[in-house]
Chain A
Amino acid sequence: MADEGALVDERIEKLLSGFGPDTDPKEFWGRQYDLGLAWVHFKEGFGGLGVKPKYQSVVQDRLEAAGAPVGNRELNLLGIGMGAGVLSAHGTEEQQRRWLRPMFTTDEIWCQLFSEPGAGSDLAGLSTKAYRDGDEWIVNGEKIWTTLAHVAKWGMLPVRTDPDAPKHRGITYFIVDMKAEGVDVRPLYQITGEAEFNEVFFGDVRIPDDQRIDAVGAGWRVAMTTLMNERVAIGGKILPRESGAIGIAVETWQEYGLDDPVLRDELARLWAETEAMRLTTIRAAEMRKVGVPGPEGSTGKLAWADLNKAITAFTLDMMGWDGTLFPGGYQKVRPTSIGDPKARQKQFLRARANSIEGGTSEILRNILGERVLGLPGEPRVDKDIPWKDVRRG
C-alpha cells in the first residue's frame, strides 16, 4: 500500500520536474503516459503502474494544482472516457499497445458508433451488418448521432454478424478506421445550430480481423463495458461546490442585482439539490474505492440531467427579457471538442440533450428500478426471438 503511494508520488515528481510554462501539452501527455500516470491501474508499459485506481485522483489533483495540462479528456472524451476502459478489459496487448498512447495524447480522437436510426435506446436492435471475407470483415450500414465523428480517427463499432441469433447474441465489436474507404461522415446540426454529432454511412468498408475486440458474437458484452464507462464519464465527475450550471445561476442572480424572494427561494432550492447531488457523487466515488459499488453511482447521470435542465431554464427566467436574446445568433459550425457553451441561452438549449445522450432518463429510471431496487421488469417481447423477426421502426 505505502509502496504504491510512494511509487505514484515519485512518478508525479518526475513528470512535473520536466514541466514548464511552454511545455507542449501533447508532449506532456506522452510523458505522463510513459510514466504510467495516464490510467494508474492499467498495466505497466500501457499507461499504468498496476496500482489501485484510487491513485488516479491523486495524480489528477496534483497535476491540476501544478497548472499542468489536463484538458485531454475534454478533447477526447469518448476515447479516454470510454475507449480506454474497453481496450483494457477486452483488448489484446497488441491492440492496447497500438491505440492507448495516441488516444491519451489526443493525437488520435475516438468516437462511438453505437446508435442507428432504428436502434437508439434499443441498442441491441442494431442493423449495421458485417460479413467475413478472409482476414477482413466487410461492413455496410448507417450510424447516427456520432459525436465528433468528423474529427475522429478511430470508432468503436458494434455490428450484426448473425441476424438469426436473438438480438443480444449476434453482435461483434470492432474498432474502425474512420478514414477508411467507404466511411462517409455527414454533419447533423443540433438545436444550438452547431453540429457536434454526425451521420456515418458504411459502404463496403473493410476492417482487418485484428481490429475485432473480443470474440465473434461477444459484442454485446463489450458494448456494456463501454456504456458503464460512459455513465461514469458523464455523471461521475466531481466538481467543486457551486460550479457548473448552479455557479452560473448564482452569478446571474448577482449580475442582475435581483432581490425577489420567490426567485431567491427557487435559486436556493436548486443550489441545495445540486449540492446534495454532488455529495452523493463523492460518496459513490468513495464506495467505489473500497470496492462496494452502490446505487449512488447510477443516480448521478439521471439527477444531473434533470437539474441541469431546470437550472439553465431558471437562469433565463432570472434574466427577464434578456433571456429572449441569443448573443451571436445561431452559427452553423462543427466543434472539435464537446465544449461547454458560453452563453446562458445556449446552455439552456444544450441541456435538452442531457436526458437523451448517453442513455435517456427513462431508460436510466428503468435500470434503477429494475437492477438497483429489484422491481420486476416490463414485459420484454423481443428477447428470445431471432433479431431478424423483431419489429423495428
Chain B
Amino acid sequence: MLRETTRRFLEDRADSMVVRDLMEKPDGYDSELWKAGAELGWHGLAIPEEYGGIGFGFTELSIVVEELGRALFPGPFLSTVVMAANAILIAGSEQQKQEFLPDIAAGERIMTMALFDGPHGADPSDVAMRATATKEGWVLDGLKRYVAYGNVADTLIVAARTESGVSLFLVPGDAAGLRVSIVPTLDATRRETDVSFDQVVAQGLLGREGSAGPVIERILLLANVALAVEQVGGAQWCLETAVEYAKTRFQFGRAIGSFQAIKHKCADMLVAVEHGKSAAHWAARNADDEAETRIASPMAKAVCSDAYVGAAGETIQILGGTGFTWEHDVHLYLKRAKSTSLMFGGVRHQRRLLAKALGF
C-alpha cells in the first residue's frame, strides 16, 4: 500500500522532467513537494507518536526511501528524516525532541548533519573541527565539507572536538558567521555544500559533551542502510529499463535481447539487484538491532553499491549511443549510483567495517 501510493505520487508529481528541473535550480528541492510528502506521512513514519509522528519503524521508512531512490527524488530527506531525526531521537534531551521532531514530521523543518572536513571522512574519528567554550557558549571555527543541503537547512548538527572528545552541536541555519556555498556535484540531483564557520556560536549541544562518537557511528550505519535501500530502488529502475529496451530494440533483424551477450547481462543484473534487495531489506528490518546493524549495514551498502553502479553501467551499455545521451535518464542513475557508493565511506570501507564486525 505505502509502496504503491508513494510510487504513484512520485510518478504523478515528480517524474524525470521535474527532477531535471529541480537539479538546475540552486535550492535543489521543491518546498511544495516537500510539504506534500510530509502530508502523505513520509517524514513522520518512523517518528514516535508522542513527537508528532506515526510511530512506525525503519522498515516502513525504507519503503519510501526505496521509491525516492527509484524516482531520484531530489531533496534533504536523507539528511533531515533519516539522519537528523534519528540523531535527535538517540541523543537529544526531552526538550530537544519536543522542539525538533514534530516540526520534522510536519515537513516544517529541514535539517542536515555536518560531520566531516576531509574527503575520507567515514568514521567518528575523522572529525577534525574544534569547538571552544566561551562566555557566550560553544564557538565553532573551520570548514565542514560534503554537507547535504546546507543551503536550505534550518538547523545543522555539527560534529566538532572539545577537550573531552567529539561532540554534536546544534547550529541555526542563519547563525552569524556561518557561510554556505553550493559545490557542483557529479549527481546534480543531490545538493552538497561547503559550510564555513567563523566564530559561530552554537545553540547548544546534542547529547553530552565528548560522547558523540557512538551516536555518529550509529547515524552513519543508519544512513548507509538508507542509502542501500535507495540504491535498490535505482538499480531496479535500471534493470527494468534495460530489459524493456532489449525487448524492443531491433538490430540484425532481431531484438537485441535475443543475443546471448545482452540476455546474460540482463540476467546477471537481475541476480545482483535481487541480492541487493535482500541485503538492504534485511538491514532495514533489523535497524533497531544495534549489533546486527553493524553487520547488516556495511553488508547492504557494499552489495547495493556494486549492484547499482553495475546496473547503471550495464544499462548504458545495453542502450548503446542512446544510453550516452543527456536526454535519456539513465545517466542520472549512473551519477547517483557512483556518488551514493562514495558517501559515508566507499565499498572498501564498508567491507572493512563488515570484517571488523565479524571479528576477522
Contacts and interface: CB of A to CB of B under 8 A. Distances in A.
Nearest to A192: B326
Interface string B256-276: 000111100000000000000
Interface residue SS majority, chain B: mixed
B192 A324 contact: yes
A186 B335 CA distance: 26
B146 A393 contact: no
B129 to A, nearest CB: 15
Interface residues of B, number: 49
Interface string B232-260: 00000000000000001111111000011
A348 interface: yes
Interface in B327-355: 327, 331, 334-335, 338-339, 342-343, 346-348, 351-352
Interface stretch (A57-65, A78-86, A353-361): A353-361
B316 A324 contact: no
A248 to B, nearest CB: 16
Interface in A119-144: 119-122, 125, 144
B325 A189 contact: yes
B327 A188 contact: yes
B325 A188 contact: yes
B309 interface: yes
A255 to B, nearest CB: 11
A320 B119 contact: yes
B320 interface: yes
A199 to B, nearest CB: 10
Contact of B348 (A317, A366, A391): A317
A239 interface: no
Given A322-B119, A324-B146, A391-B250, A360 B317 contact: yes
B100 interface: no
A260 B122 CA distance: 15
Contacts, number: 145
A193 interface: yes
A356 B320 contact: yes
B338 to A, nearest CB: 6
B325 A191 contact: yes
Given A321-B146, A393-B250, A316 B327 contact: no
Interface of A: 115, 118-122, 125, 144-145, 188-191, 193, 256, 260, 262-263, 309, 313, 316-317, 319-330, 345, 348-349, 352-353, 355-357, 360-362, 365-366, 378, 380-382, 390-393
Given A193-B326, A349-B334, 8 more contacts: A191-B324, A191-B334, A256-B120, A320-B118, A324-B338, A348-B186, A390-B253, A391-B253
16 contacts: A121-B252, A145-B321, A256-B120, A262-B352, A317-B342, A321-B119, A325-B183, A325-B184, A329-B188, A362-B261, A365-B261, A378-B260, A390-B253, A391-B253, A391-B254, A392-B250
